[in-house]
Structure 1
Amino acid sequence: MAKGSSGAQRFPKSLASFMCLVMLLLNLIHSSQSQSRGHPQQLEEVELHLLLSFKSSINDPLHTLSNWINSSSSICDCNNNLTGSLPDFLFSHSFSHLETLDLSNNIFSGKIPPQLGLLSSLIYLDVGGNVLEGEIPSSITNITTLQYLTLASNQLVGEIPGDIGVLNNLKWIYLGYNNLSGQIPKSIGELVWLNHLDLVYNNLSGQIPQSLGNLSNLEFLFLYKNSLTGPIPASIFELNKLVSLDLSDNSLTGEISELVLNLKRLEVLHLFSNNFTGKIPRALTALPRLQVLQLWSNRLTDLSTNNLSGEIPHGLCDSRVLYKLILFSNSLQGQLPRTLTTCTSLRRVRLQNNKLSGELPSQFTKLPLIYLLDVSTNQLSGRIDDRMWDMPALQMLNLGKNNLSGELPHSFGSNKLESLDLSENRFSGEIPASLGGLSELVQLKLSNNRLSGNIPTQICSCKKLVVLDLSHNELNGQIPRRRRKKLEAMRRVETQDGTWEMQFFDSKASKVINMEDVLCWAKEGNNKIGRKGRQQFQVEEMSELNSLWEDMVEIGKLGHANMVKVMGICRSGKEGYLVYEYREGKYLSEVVRSVRWEGRRNIAVGIAKALKYLHAHCSTSTLVLVGEVSPHRVVVDAKHVARLKLSFSPPLKASISISSPYVAPEARNGKKEVTEKSGIYGLGMILIELVTGRSAEVGMESMVEWARYCYSDCHVDMWVDPMMKGPHNDVVDVMNLALHCTATDPSARPCATQVLKTLNALAANPTLYSCVSSSPSP
């Protein structure tokens, strides 16, 4: 969770990175004062020399320091991109009295000077968020006064100094997001004042040292995304002040000890993606502060994707605050605990791919807040039409691949259902006509059952339906057909440039635009406004339109208030043009820094609405063509209404995508299928820009990695765009959503509906965050 957010207990950083430079310089001056008392003129000369030496030693491409004219009294800038090596002169005996050194979140490169240990009075050291390489200098162990150490988010290699335990004043260690290797030093267990240990996203190997159990003041232990092996040391469960424990994404083995009962303050427990075996410890039911069992969340207990067996403990919801239960892909057996039927706080339940048996408890289908229920690929049996379904929030229901029987329910107690999967069961009888009333339904899977009778014509009323699978049943009769809007007739036109085919999707455009207009506007360049009567249009060139003609015809039928409509397409051989409606406004990339937070949030909502509509009305093969979702394709008007202007690219040509930071990883390397989740990645990148004001295309090699580092390890004011005027209390939640959207694994990203729901909820009830942490300042 981001520092400064409600309930967070993380180390606060200064209001903005440049202010940390001010602190550094004031410390330099302070150290010079102690050596120059009684000599005012000498003091002034020393101060000026120090300031100008620092200025001249770094590369300042944004002219952050341009107002330094023989004075240090007017230093102020909140967005730094300082480059070059760390100045050697800072790491010398001249600054042995320096207490604070913060050069974080710049673009410093090179190695950390080996003489770092000469800064023997340092209390606070942060050079995180740069591109530093090489090893951690061994001389760092000379700084025995050090309390706060952050070297995170660089490219450091080698091992953590084995004698780091001599720094017995350390309270905070952030070494995550590097390429450190070797084992975790046992001497870390000697740092008895340590409150926070973060070594994530490295290549650390070996076992977790038993000595970590000596860290009696430790509240946060993050070791995820390494190559750690062996069991969890029993001593870890003696750390009774622990609030967050994340050991996920390693190769840990053994059972999860019942000693977890000792962690009474635990709110966060991440154990997913390891090789744990055995049963889920019943002690988890006795942890009074544990709120969530789920994957990809801030506050969670995640035991998914392991080899856990046994039954689901009956008391998991005794706290009455459990709202996400995620235990999928294990070997859990037995029936669903009946105690869960009274867990009215539950919202998201994922128990798929286990060995659960018995019936779905009747009261379970009346839980009011559940919006996602997935118990597929188990051994559940019995009927589901013999009870009342009253789940008004339900959006996604997956009961597929079980042994359920009987007829299908006529209602699931929700008019919000978007995905319904009852496939590969033993359901019989007819398909209820009432399913046609599910106006939000996008996906309906009823295959591999024993359904009979006709396909109800009411299914055609589900206008958002994209996936319909009724295969391998006993259905008969005709396939109902939905009436389609008739397109304008395609025209063939002879011009001096050859024969052109024109297909319009708008009757007004068809009547006023001719091929000569299109060619004339095209010669004036993309985005040039063409006028015909009172109507305005824009023309963009598109190569290889000929091979995509049928798909483009499907796209031309789309229309939404948050999309720039494609009015027509024209082709001649390999040449092609798209005719868009003209929408007044500027591209998001041009205006983002001048928009207040409320406007930025409205922009995000508009993009999410456009994607939700697209994903509901386009097949996967068509979505592959719609191109990247980036600030260069979002038109924003004066009222901050956003409209997505689709760009189109042939599926086998990635020339516009490969180098774009807005294109999802799976689309860049072509190793995975491109789906609607690929567009969600682009939206996530835009959300990061809306929150931070930083463009992914300017000096940011890995915007997502930087954002994850900032969200995890930095105070909120460190990464919020300082140009953003007005209150922005829900900014932390939007950043959290952005990081979900940019997950490397496409299946971990939320769908457009979930994104829109979250943004609307934040707009209605923004979560307040505190700009001041209770932790001591350096």
Structure 2
Amino acid sequence: MRPSASFTLLLHLLPFLSTCFSSEEYEFRALLSVRSSINDPLDALSSWSNSTPSFCNWHGITCDDHSTSHVSIVRLSGKNLSGSLPSVLFTLPFIHTLDLSSNGFSGGIPPEAFSNLSSSLRHLNLTNNHLSGPIPLRPDGRDKIINSSLEILDLSNNYLTGETPDEISNNFPRLKVLDLGGNSLRGRIPSSISQLRTLEFLTLASNELVGRIPPELGEITTLQFIYVGYNNLTGEIPPEIGNLTALKHLDLVYNNLTGAIPGSVGNLHKLRYLFLYQNSLSGPIPPSIYNLTALISLDLSENDLTGEISEEVIKLENLEILQLFSNRFEGAIPRSIAALPRLQVLQLWSNRLSGDIPADLGRRNNLTVLDLSSNNLTGGVPEHLCYSRRLVKLILFSNFLEGEIPSGLSRCRSLERVRIENNRLSGELPPEFTKLPLVYYLDVSGNGFSGRIDGRSWEMPALQMLSLARNDLTGPLPDSFGSENIKNLDLSENQFSGGIPAGLGRFSELARLTLSKNQLSGPIPEPIAECKKLVSLDVSKNHLSGEIPAGLSDLPVLTELDLSENRFSGEIPQDLGKTGSLVFVNLSHNHFHGSLPATGVFLSVNASSIAGNPGLCGGTARSGLPPCTAAVEKKPRRFSVTVLMVGLLILLLSVLLLLLILRRRREHIYLKKVEINGNGVWEVRVFDEKASKAITADTLLTSIKEGTVAVPDGAGDGMLFAVRNTTDIPSIGWAEVTDMGRFRHRNVVGLAGACRSETRWVLIYEPVEGGRSLSVALRELSWEKRCRVAVSIARALHCLHRRGMLLHGNLTAGNNVVLDGDGVARLLINVFPSGLEEGKRELAEEESDVYSFGVLLVMLLTGRCHVDAEAGKHGGVVEWARYCYSERHLDTWIDPVMRGQLAEYQDEMIRAMELAVRCTSVDPLQRPCMKEVVKVLVKSVEKPGSWVSKIKRALPI
């Protein structure tokens, strides 16, 4: 009997069906094992259980369309899962998409996950986890194809280490997307990547890669996106890049690339984004770049490019963002820029551009951000900059612009930030210019504006910072500026007259009020004391009179008070000395009389801060005031005798104590006098016998160099000689020097002795074996070593402050910090005040040491000294770093030497800069104490590095 046709078909399908059923059972058990092996705090996998036998209905699981119902997709992104990667998911026989991104998986990628990778897998996404270790592709598998179907491999934003595997191209030959960015991969970019002939998207950004960009990349003609920024790549951009005619996005930023931009880049006609900023590229912009008509954003900023910006820029008709700042471009801004129809952001600041700003700029554009600051531009401010009514930020400071503010700009109600300071603008402020509703920052200082500002309408409800300083404005001050949110008001160096308006007391957010160098008269109005957030009040060099309002003593955060060179009279309120936040006061050249308060800031006030008040008396010896006299009441004889007896007893005890001290000093201090021809007689005090034998007339002669720290060859047994001139410092006694000589700390270079003549002091430090100044050694120090330097010096300062001692010096150039032969940072303490903070040379408080340490921290982070030519018109390096940190993308201030460590330690570097900004705060009250600094630093360096997400570049303000 012949079998039926259906039975015959069943016999043929039986082996296949058996395989399918066994596979489904395998998948079921594999998924259950996954749930039991990982942490799932959100119960995202609660449906993965025996009670729901069909795994196709489980959360995150998608099955194929066949009746066999096999797992084709596992998508568990962002479920807060953690633990080790479940390697069994990589081996599911029918899976084509595995997405475990944005979870907390840690440890290494299991080698068996790649070696047994399912042949059906096309998309593997493990981004944003905590995976570490190398990518597990074995060298002996170089010729073995692990998966010929995989198209997307995303391992970005983890903690992977080792080198980029040379075997990727052979193991996964059909890759279209390869994303290894945001890890800690080292070594070179393997040239074998060029064998991935279907690759469209390549990201190796934010690693620690070195070497050159392999020219073989030019062979992958399918590439559309290249991201290799934030590494430490060197050499030139290979001209073979020009072969990638399908390329749409080229990002090589934050490397050490040198040489010229290759002209072959002009062949990339589909290119929309070209980012080459923060390198060391030189030469002119190649003319071929202007053939890239599809460009939307062109950023060549922060390089060393030269030449002129060509009028050919008009060809870039789709350009929306043009950033060429911080280069050395010369010549005029091309007129054709004004004709780019889609231009929104134009930033050309810090170049050497000259000539006029194009008159039609803004008329045919959609400008939102315009920054042409720090150039040599002349002429007037164009009328049509805000023609589109979209301009938000206008930054033109530090040029040579002339004329008046155009009416079109004064009606620009979209503006939020305006900085046109330090130009030659003149005329009156237009009436509409003080009615801009969104402006929160307005600085027109350092110009020649004239006229009155009262009697006009101030309608600026968002205003927080207003500076009209250094102009020729006249008349009385207005009672209001249209905003109760003003935090910083600077009207100094004008010709304002009349009284200080009582309405200023309504500014509840006011922190700094500067009215100095005007012709104001009358008293300080009592309502000023209602500004409870006031930190600094400067009304110096006016014609103000009356008494100091008693309410100023109640301001809780008042730190700086300058009433000098006015006509104030009366007594200084005794409660003013009880204002704990007050650290700087200048009451000089007024008509105050009576007793100087004997508390608070007045205990350390300098004579120059109270000079010119003949009626004042009292204070400490430092104040230079005569003692106050008062009528002496008659006391009973018995009381007088008691007082006399107690006085004699105290005198006797004092003499005994003095003898004891002198005896102990003789045990430890060696005294000698040395007469040096032409340099007078020097008194020498040495704190140890070794130094006493080393100090001779010859060593003094060879070491006395004004204002230097010398290390003589063999002289003084290698001791360091620091020289200062007493004409620049107040009187210093031997007591302070001796205290320094007895102070010992692991991170402080001990003071071995000191010499004094009639005109000079010389400090003699203990030898530092193998010592080098920090400024010399800095370029060789890794981030970890710089952290150790910061912690060491912070601990030394904290210990000094606990002993009631102040550094009095500065750390700005790194010469007061020495690294010994073991790399240990040691501080050269200095008893001589060195006013680092401009305008506060009298200030000798812990806050000044904290400021000095903040400058050192900036130096460690940026590699720049306190006064650095590259800081340009931003002033010192502190102002430059704060400008870069707050106004632009965060990574501009990092020392290029440490770029290779940026991926691993970015968070720590940012926290350190935040601490440096706090330490150098203009308001001393906002600075942390050294105890807190040590705590923050130690906590920061103990936290492991992280790179949670790719760096996204923010536009400058």
Decide: shared fold, TM above 0.5. yes
In 2, Cα distance between equivalents of 1:546 and 1:567: 20
Please point out which of 491, 494, 497 is paired with 1:330.
494
In 2, are the aligned partners of 1:152 and 1:176 still within 8 Å (CA)? yes
Please point out which of 684, 694, 712 is paired with 1:503.
684
In 2, Cα distance between equivalents of 1:262 and 1:364: 25
Aligned to 2:561: 397
Comparing 375-384 with 175-184, which one deviates more in the overlay? 375-384
Q: What TM-score, normalized to structure 2?
A: 0.56
Please point out which of 97, 109, 119 is paired with 2:282.
109
- The one-letter code matched in structure 2 to 1:630 is A
2:123 is the alignment partner of 1:123: no
In 2, are the aligned partners of 1:587 and 1:635 still within 8 Å (CA)? yes
2:858 is the alignment partner of 1:688: yes
Please point out which of 243, 249, 253 is paired with 2:422.
249
2:616 is the alignment partner of 1:459: no
2:538 is the alignment partner of 1:360: no
In 2, Cα distance between equivalents of 1:442 and 1:564: 29
2:701 is the alignment partner of 1:540: no
In 1, are the aligned partners of 2:670 and 2:689 still within 8 Å (CA)? no
- The one-letter code matched in structure 2 to 1:207 is G
- The correspondence of residues 175-324 of structure 1 with structure 2, limited to 5 A, is 175-280=348-453, 285-291=458-464, 300-316=465-481, 318-319=483-484, 321-324=485-488
In 1, are the aligned partners of 2:710 and 2:722 still within 8 Å (CA)? no
Deviation at 1:305, TM superposition (A): 0.8
In 2, Cα distance between equivalents of 1:214 and 1:645: 59
In 1, are the aligned partners of 2:605 and 2:842 still within 8 Å (CA)? no
In 1, Cα distance between equivalents of 2:749 and 2:482: 47
**3-state secondary structure, aligned to 1:515:** helix
**3-state secondary structure, aligned to 1:252:** strand
Percentage of matched positions with identical amino acids: 24
In 2, Cα distance between equivalents of 1:164 and 1:98: 20
Aligned to 2:890: 716
Q: 1:775 to 1:419 in 2, by over 3 A?
A: closer
In 1, are the aligned partners of 2:567 and 2:591 still within 8 Å (CA)? yes
Deviation at 1:257, TM superposition (A): 2.1
Please point out which of 672, 684, 693 is paired with 1:515.
693
Q: Provide the alpha-carbon RMSD of the alignment.
A: 6.1
In 1, Cα distance between equivalents of 2:727 and 2:434: 60
Aligned to 2:24: none
In 1, Cα distance between equivalents of 2:584 and 2:841: 20
Deviation at 1:732, TM superposition (A): 6.2
In 2, Cα distance between equivalents of 1:166 and 1:220: 20
Aligned to 2:6: none
In 2, Cα distance between equivalents of 1:177 and 1:62: 25
**3-state secondary structure, aligned to 1:235:** helix
Higher relative contact order (Cα pairs below 8 Å, separated by 6+ residues):
1
Deviation at 1:450, TM superposition (A): 3.9
Q: Deviation per CA, 1:41-70, whole angstroms, max 9, x where unpaired?
A: xxx99744589xxxxxxxx9976479x9x9
2:788 is the alignment partner of 1:593: no
In 1, Cα distance between equivalents of 2:427 and 2:507: 30
Q: 1:143 to 1:276 in 2, by over 3 A?
A: same
Q: 1:423 to 1:63 in 2, by over 3 A?
A: closer
Q: Deviation per CA, 1:93-152, whole angstroms, max 9, x where unpaired?
A: x22222222221222222222333122222221111122221112222211121211111
**3-state secondary structure, aligned to 1:165:** helix
In 1, are the aligned partners of 2:446 and 2:471 still within 8 Å (CA)? yes
Deviation at 1:577, TM superposition (A): 8.3
- The one-letter code matched in structure 1 to 2:330 is V
- The one-letter code matched in structure 2 to 1:308 is L
Largest Rg, 1 or 2 = 2
Q: Deviation per CA, 1:160-187, whole angstroms, max 9, x where unpaired?
A: 1112122211121111101111111023
**3-state secondary structure, aligned to 2:329:** strand
In 2, are the aligned partners of 1:567 and 1:580 still within 8 Å (CA)? yes
In 2, Cα distance between equivalents of 1:426 and 1:387: 20
Q: 1:268 to 1:601 in 2, by over 3 A?
A: farther
In 2, Cα distance between equivalents of 1:113 and 1:235: 36
Deviation at 1:665, TM superposition (A): 14
In 2, are the aligned partners of 1:396 and 1:418 still within 8 Å (CA)? yes
In 2, Cα distance between equivalents of 1:163 and 1:360: 54
Gap runs ≥5 in structure 2: 1-180, 202-213, 222-229, 245-249, 632-654, 676-680, 703-708, 940-947
Gap runs ≥5 in structure 1: 1-13, 35-43, 52-59, 292-299, 478-482, 495-499, 531-536, 652-662, 667-671, 742-748
In 1, Cα distance between equivalents of 2:761 and 2:498: 63
- The one-letter code matched in structure 2 to 1:644 is L
Deviation at 1:154, TM superposition (A): 1.1
Aligned to 2:327: 154
Deviation at 1:687, TM superposition (A): 3.7
In 1, Cα distance between equivalents of 2:597 and 2:818: 41
In 2, Cα distance between equivalents of 1:571 and 1:336: 50
Aligned to 1:294: none
In 2, Cα distance between equivalents of 1:605 and 1:316: 43
In 2, Cα distance between equivalents of 1:606 and 1:77: 40
2:568 is the alignment partner of 1:421: no
**3-state secondary structure, aligned to 1:128:** coil
**3-state secondary structure, aligned to 2:429:** coil
Q: What TM-score, normalized to structure 1?
A: 0.67
Please point out which of 817, 824, 840 is paired with 1:634.
817
In 1, Cα distance between equivalents of 2:340 and 2:922: 43
Q: 1:161 to 1:255 in 2, by over 3 A?
A: same
Deviation at 1:493, TM superposition (A): 9.4
| Number of residue equivalences | 658
Deviation at 1:307, TM superposition (A): 1.3
In 1, Cα distance between equivalents of 2:428 and 2:374: 24
In 2, are the aligned partners of 1:98 and 1:119 still within 8 Å (CA)? yes
